Amino acid sequence: MFGVLHYSLNSQNSPDELRNPIRKPKWVEDLQQKQPCFDLDAVIMAINCVSSAKSCLERHLHGRRSIVPYSLLWMMTIFSWKLFAVLVASLSTFLCIILQSIHFLLSCVSQLCIYDTLANLFCNTWRIIEIRCCQFLYWPIFLRNCGLRSQSCVEYAEKMALHRHSMWSSLVVDALLGNLFGIALWSQAKPACLLVSNLMDDVTNHLLRTGCVWLMGNPAGFKLNTELAGVLGIVSLDTIQIWSTLWSFMGFLFIPISKIIALFGIVFGLSAAAALIIDMISLITKHVFVLHWSLSLIYSRQIQAIAALWRLFRGRKWNPLRERLDSYDYTVEQHVIGTLLFTPLLLLLPTISSFYTFFTIMNSAISFICVVIEVCIFVIHATPYNKIFLWLVKKRRFPAGIWFEFVTCQHNAVASGTGPVDSIGSVSRKSRKTRESSTRRSTILVSLLHSNYLNLGELVQSNYGDIHSAISRSSFVSSAYGVLTGGRIPSALGTIRSSGLPWFVIPCKQYWYICYEAVLACREN
């Protein structure tokens, strides 16, 4: 590109001329009008693919000639690897049979109501288990070699290798963290259950019950409606008492539940244990959710009624078809009825708002805890551990732009100045000043090309796109609007999704051969 990729090697041209607009000569205009004969990216990709195919072909043709095929060590290595492949394939097939049997039983009972109830209560745990099962069923397919043609494409091979190693690195890290958490929780199950039980008693007695009694009086000096506050307070206290009594009878299940959580962490990883904790928190605090949902329903209907009656006094009416306010002539009877309804609704609004605000704060605190645990699960799944390891070992795998080092050669000395560039030919002001001062007596201006590398934040930032979209300004605005209008507050970010891989049923013999060939393909690679 003329005027952008322009560097002078002549002593008569100074760097000051680079900043001045240069008139394009006629051959540049002719060159721009000419149709390009090739695509540089395509040429580079073709060269890389040819080089990769050549190295792969040489490995297949000449790689085994350096080893004597009938040596004892070679035969023992082949036999050991095949034996290992047989063991891995047999174990994988046995576990595949178990998973297929469980899936068949679940499909048989999927029509029952209790199945839908349990699926809704433990939805997060079910998604994590589904992800783990699909990752296990598909591991030989991801690991299996796809042929010589796929190996010759550098871009495809790079993407598949990163995807495969990302999945397995995430699985290994999740399993290690899950084993550490599960073993610690299994050994300290009784103290952990005692701590959780005391925390639940404190929340129930010192927050919920005390807060309801406080709202039934004069909270913060506000004079509320005594009859309505008494009714709402008694209903809330009865609901809290019924739920706490129920859980007091179910207290003997705390230790088994904690051991089940520890077992989930050991078998399925830390993310499964964390998902089960989210579901258990939602189940234990279901009474707070029910009270908040009931009060938000009353509060939102009251707000809508007051807004509609206020439009009546202004002579306006909401048009749902065009979604706008239109003028409307109301009758005297309608104004009288509106006045009789508007006055009690407006006077009872502070009482409803106080109870709604209290249970909104409680429900938001519980939702915040669940959201924090969900973010931890997402970070465990989305963190590219393989890329971080490659970045620590070899940063050259992740380039991020170029910069030029300008060297000025004089008669008896050499001076250098470095300056980063954002794009080719765009030099910073500091670098430009350095070049001007260093090339006053120079005869030749030489530029050395260097490369920048991604830092750790830029490397992992692209993997956290779902968190950035879920925790954004628009989400906060919508949540605040929902709180003010009595809408439902989201208790999850929605980052825990299904694996996206379909569940497949495959014969055991065929699955065994796929696993066997996948392990042997690792030896060839």
CB 518 within 8 A of CB 143: yes
Checking if the pLDDT of 140 tops 60, the result is: yes
Highest mean pLDDT among 102-106, 171-175, 499-503: 171-175
- The neighbour count for residue 443, using CB atoms within 10 Å, is 12
Checking if the pLDDT of 414 tops 70, the result is: no
HEC readout, 1-24 = CCCCCCCCCCCCCCCHHHHCCCCC
- The secondary structure of the chain in percent helix, strand, coil, rounded to multiples of 5, reads 70, 5, 20
**Average pLDDT value over all residues in the chain:** 78
Helices (H), 109-225: 113-121, 123-137, 139-143, 148-152, 154-187, 189-202, 210-216
Checking if the pLDDT of 76 tops 60, the result is: yes
Q: Which two tokens stand for residue 437?
A: 């001062």
pLDDT, one tens digit per residue, over 278-294 is 999 988 888 899 999 99
DSSP strand pairing (399-409 vs 324-327): unpaired
CB 432 within 8 A of CB 18: no
pLDDT of residue 445: 64
Confidence of residue 181 (pLDDT cuts 50, 70, 90): very high
**Residue 209: exposed, middle, or buried by beta-carbon count in 10 A (0-12, 13-18, 19+)?**
middle
pLDDT, one tens digit per residue, over 336-381 is 888 888 889 999 999 999 999 999 999 989 989 998 999 899 888 8
Tally: H helices and E strands in the chain: 22, 5
- What value does the mean pLDDT take over residues 430-454? 59
Residues 6+ apart with CB under 8 A from 444: 9, 11, 408, 409
Q: Calculate the alpha carbon distances from 138 to 296, 511, 514, 518 in Å.
A: 45, 10, 10, 11
Residues 6+ apart with CB under 8 A from 222: 350, 354
Checking if the pLDDT of 21 tops 80, the result is: no
Confidence of residue 506 (pLDDT cuts 50, 70, 90): confident
Least Cα distance to 498 among 106, 128, 117 occurs for 128
pLDDT of residue 521: 77
Residue 240 region, left (φ>0) first, then alpha (ψ -120 to 50), else beta? alpha
Long-range contacts of 186-191 (CB under 8 A, 24+ apart): 186/259, 186/262, 186/263, 186/266, 189/255, 189/258, 189/259, 189/262, 190/255
Whole-structure pTM over 0.85, yes or no?
Answer: no
What phi, psi does 22 have (nearest 5°)?
Answer: -105, 130
pLDDT of residue 103: 83
CB 85 within 8 A of CB 140: no
- What value does the mean pLDDT take over residues 139-166? 70
CB 151 within 8 A of CB 58: no
Checking if the pLDDT of 430 tops 70, the result is: no
pLDDT, one tens digit per residue, over 204-243 is 888 888 889 898 887 877 778 889 999 999 999 999 988 8
Q: Which two tokens stand for residue 357?
A: 């605000």
Amino acid in the structure at residue 267: V
- Pick 487 or 66 by higher pLDDT: 487
pLDDT, one tens digit per residue, over 34-59 is 666 666 667 777 777 777 777 777 77
Percent with pLDDT over 70 in the chain: 80
Checking if the pLDDT of 276 tops 70, the result is: yes
